[in-house]
Amino acid sequence: MARLKKNNDTEAVNAFRFSLTGLLLFSLVLIAGTGLVASRFFDAKSKSYSFAKNDVPDPDAQDNNMFTRKGPWGELLTQNIKLERPAEYIALDEKTPEPETWTFNGMTLDQVRILLTANGLSKDDVAAQLTPNRLNAIGSNLVFTPDEGFLLSLKTETRQKLYGTFYGLGVGLYFDYPFIFPKDSAETVYTDSRLNTDDVTLLKQLIYPAANSVRLSDYNLLLRRIPTPERRTMMAKVLSLQPAVLARLCVRPDSDIDKIAAYWGAMDNVRFTDMRPMLEALKGLPHGGTVSLMYFLPPFARTRLYTYPLPSQPGDPKMDCHWSTFNFSSVQPDNRFNDPTFAVDYIQKNFYRIDAPSIYGDILLYVNDKNEIKHSSVFLADDLAFTKYGDNYRQPWMIVRMADMQTMYPALRPVFYRRKTE
């Protein structure tokens, strides 16, 4: 480095002269320094939280879909998710769907005519549809295959009234178990970029409102009108989306492990002593950590959670909500819970009515206006329950929010029961 002068050589100034090697080294130092300053600047901001990490998120990382809540259960960190059926589980009957059929159990042709005309269809429509070539008597049941053009022509209000009447009559699977979307979630289906716009237009035509939701019952018709197997499979995947919850227990340095044990350790076949070392280890971390709620479920529920059953074979049990609820803590599933009479008798003998669920293992039953049990689930903690919708392989076992479960059964009211102690 040399000391330079101005042109008039009267005032000295400081200047630097580098060789090529020196200039490269100086540039690298500047770049490194800039990177260090930038990293410190961005590190000062709140980091986004990854649910997969075994730590507790900062309050700034929590929102309406992911948050912590304290109670007798300890502190739960929950995140809303949506489960989607794998493409491998999309059944052949969805890739090559059969025509829509309506089955009227134990009804005569005249009774069917009266039912249809009393619930939105004109006499002309009924006469045009109930023709011999569209009717088939199977035992005491009358099976009707409606014309697809007729189904597409139904107005939304007609579909709403008629299909609402069909609910619970066994007319068809998707009348009793329609696809149900809370009104604020239907738009996420319509805007799913994986769907063809023509298929979305058709879906909107077949959707009808009910309670605080919109529903789809013409599922086979929808798939049949979609021209390619690939697009049908994608529609089936998107429609299979189910709101569910991932849940983790937060363990902080000041957490009371004994209190957590008192809540979660009382469930049959939950061995809390096996989990205590892990919880104590998390408590010993500088900032604590989290552990999946799956560890606190008995083996029956833990091995099935977030999975779909395979299509049933002859002799298999109906893996419905009741079978899942009352086998929740079983070592070996008891298939007698497939019998509604046995299930009701079991409840009466082993449970008593309570005002609201508050203990792990309380039972939530959803009944109709005749006090018939139509759905059941197991209370876990806070607003969370373990359940499975329906008895078909299209529905997974899940942890759900009670409000979402009520949306699935808007016409039913919940009642709550607790197991009797010896």
The per-residue pLDDT for range 16-62, each reduced to its tens digit, is 454 555 544 445 444 444 444 444 433 444 445 555 565 666 666 67
Q: What is the DSSP letter of 389?
A: -
Q: Residues 288-326: pLDDT tens digits? A: 999 999 999 999 999 999 999 887 788 888 899 999 999
Is it the case that residue 191 has pLDDT exceeding 50?
yes
Residue type, 17: R
Largest CA distance in the chain: 118
Q: What would the pLDDT profile of 233-260 be if each residue is shown by its tens digit?
A: 999 999 988 889 999 999 999 999 999 9
- The pLDDT value recorded for residue 311 is 76
**Residue 207 and residue 214 in contact, taking contact as beta carbons nearer than 8 Å:** yes
Residues near 209 by Cβ (< 8 Å), separated by ≥ 6?
156, 160, 183, 215
| Averaged pLDDT score across all residues of the chain | 85
Cβ neighbours of 307 (radius 10 Å): 11
| Model pLDDT, residue 421 | 84
Contact yes or no for 367/373 (Cβ under 8 A): yes
Helix, coil or strand: residue 295: helix
pTM value? 0.77
Distance CA 261, CA 252 (A): 15
pLDDT for the residue numbered 3: 36
Rounded Cα–Cα distance for residues 396 and 392 (Å): 9
Answer whether residue 381 shows pLDDT above 80: yes
Which two three-digit tokens encode residue 220?
């086979």
pLDDT band per the 50, 70, 90 thresholds, residue 409: confident
Query: pLDDT (tens digit, 9 = 90+) per residue, 94-147?
Result: 778 889 999 999 999 999 999 999 999 999 999 999 999 999 999 999 999 999
CA gyration radius, the chain: 30
Q: What is the Cα–Cα distance from 256 to 252, expressed in whole angstroms? A: 9
